[in-house]
Amino acid sequence: MATAKLLILMVLIKVASASYDPSLPYYLLFQNRLPGQLNVHCVTKNNDLRLHPMPPGADYKFFFKLNFWLSTSFHCRFNYVGTNMWQAFETWRGPGFWFKDSWPCRQCTWMVNPDGFFRAQENETLVMIWPWRRDPEKYLVESKLPESP
């Protein structure tokens, strides 16, 4: 009984917290700054956002809200069409119910260019996070996204 009361108290504190507003959306923006097509495929545990082909100069943006446990996570796979360049990584992760991770950006921008993947949070400067991978034989094995139900 004491555990249940403690859990309820923690949930109430969490909801009352100024840093957690479930009514506000988050978004991810991907910018293709490659001279060719970029394919983007993102999934969460519960949703498959499908493949999005992006011609040069195109942007792809989607909005989302956090789940109750604040554990929403997006895994994306990228392929620079016509080359052996690819990458796959977690592009966004919520802090989790126990706030073990710091709060992620509300407005995350990923710019993709020939050097790699650059991220900016809100109005910050872009910072390189990931280079391209150039080993196509590993693409199908290592870039496998988590299964969606």
Residues 66-80 have pLDDT tens digits of 766 666 777 899 999
Which pLDDT does position 128 carry in this prediction?
92
pTM of structure: 0.72
Residue 43: strand pairing partners: 48, 75
pLDDT greater at residue 105 or residue 4: 105
How many residues are present in the chain?
149
Give the CATH H-level superfamily of domain 23-142.
Immunoglobulins (2.60.40.10)
In the chain, the DSSP E strands lie at 26-32, 38-43, 48-54, 59-64, 73-80, 86-93, 107-113, 116-121, 127-131
Which pLDDT does position 69 carry in this prediction?
65
Measured distance CA(63)–CA(73) in Å, rounded = 13
Which pLDDT does position 103 carry in this prediction?
57
In which residue are the tokens 């050097």 written?
115
The answer to whether 27 and 63 are in contact (CB under 8 A) is yes
Tell me the Cα Rg of the chain: 18
Which pLDDT does position 72 carry in this prediction?
73
Please check the confidence at residue 113 and state whether its pLDDT lies above 70. Answer: yes
